[in-house]
Amino acid sequence: MMAEQKHRAEILDGRQLAEQIKREVTEEVNRFREHRGVQPCLAAVLVSDDTASAVYVRNKVRASAETGLRSEQHTLPATTSTEKLLDLVTDLNRRDDVDGILVQLPLPKQIDEASIIEAIDPAKDVDGFHPINVGLLALGRPRFVPCTPAGIIELLERNKIEIAGTNACVVGRSQVVGRPIANLLLRQNATVTICHSRTRDLASVTRQADILIAAIGRAAFIRGDYIKRGATVIDVGVNKLTDPDEARSLFGAEAGKRIETIKQRGYTLVGDVHPAEADQVAGRRTPVPGGVGLLTVAILMRNTLQAARQRREMS
């Protein structure tokens, strides 16, 4: 008698889809430049000496070049004041040649983050964090959708994963991911539950979800018993792991490669979902890295093109 084949979740490849979206944006940017004679421009602002933040901004600038967008990087020291940063944002708002403004978050503690976000022209707010754009999304009339939530919807739709009528659970209630993805899922006619640190018996709630989205910033927190068999699991978390023994318990067959990465780099990345346990239960899941993060950058490029179009339609 043949042994039963061991279940393993299908991996949803964010890398491949991100490249596809960037190709689409490149084609649209070329058409826009031919029609309007203008090259859309993204201004990226970094206020930090943090290496990770610098890498994030560099990736966004590089993606701009790949898709035919013009980009500017404005780097300010970590000691910058709120007033100094507001002056830069005001200047970028005034400039007609700048279509999108991205201020890399988080900002240093001495800067009033809310006032910076609110100071960005909503028509150039390609991150979708300005209160006006947040409100439009909540009303079901989105202009700019935050990049990670928009990328998640693209991933689901292009993999033909049914959203309408499903039970969707979002673990995390941040303005960056949790709340906007809940609004987008509602627009797609899912029944949505948002969980957070005060949710009682979290696992009993998440186990009801056909689509489970984890965005809490806690390494491998979502275990196998939190997941409904056959569910689609979207892992938004990005956490550094430095312990080889922990990597061995988390990554199963992939552990050897991850331990080698720790030896070479000092760390490997793990999401908010326990990958080895999720593989035994979920129908599909996103990997970390190679999942949602790459889509975030691709959608930022698309939002910048959208901003360039909309600003010129209004002028």
Distant-in-sequence, close-in-space partners of 208: CB < 8 Å, separation ≥ 6: 167, 169, 193, 228
Q: Which amino acid is at 48?
A: S
Q: How many angstroms separate the CA atoms of 102 and 128, rounded?
A: 10
Cα 272 to chain centroid, rounded: 14
Q: How many angstroms separate the CA atoms of 265 and 253, rounded?
A: 20
Which one from 22, 104, 121, 210 is the annotated catalytic residue? 104
Q: Is 104 a catalytic residue?
A: yes
Q: How many residues does the chain have?
A: 315
244-265: buried (b, 16+ CB within 10 Å) or exposed (e) per residue?
eebbeebbeeebeebbebbeee
Cα torsion angle, 237, 239, 245, 251, sign: positive
Omega of the bond leading into 106 within 30 degrees of 0 (cis): yes
Q: Is 127 a catalytic residue?
A: yes
Nearest one of 202, 235, 242 to 216, comparing CA atoms: 235
Q: How many angstroms separate the CA atoms of 221 and 246, rounded?
A: 13
Which one from 99, 125, 127, 272 is the annotated catalytic residue? 127
Structure-token pair, residue 36: 């309007």
190 and 166 Cβ atoms separated by less than 8 Å: yes
Q: Is 6 a catalytic residue?
A: no
Which one from 22, 60, 124, 228 is the annotated catalytic residue? 60
Give the 3-state secondary structure of 179-200: HHHHHHHHHCCCEEEEECCCCC
Q: Which residues are catalytic?
A: 60, 104, 127
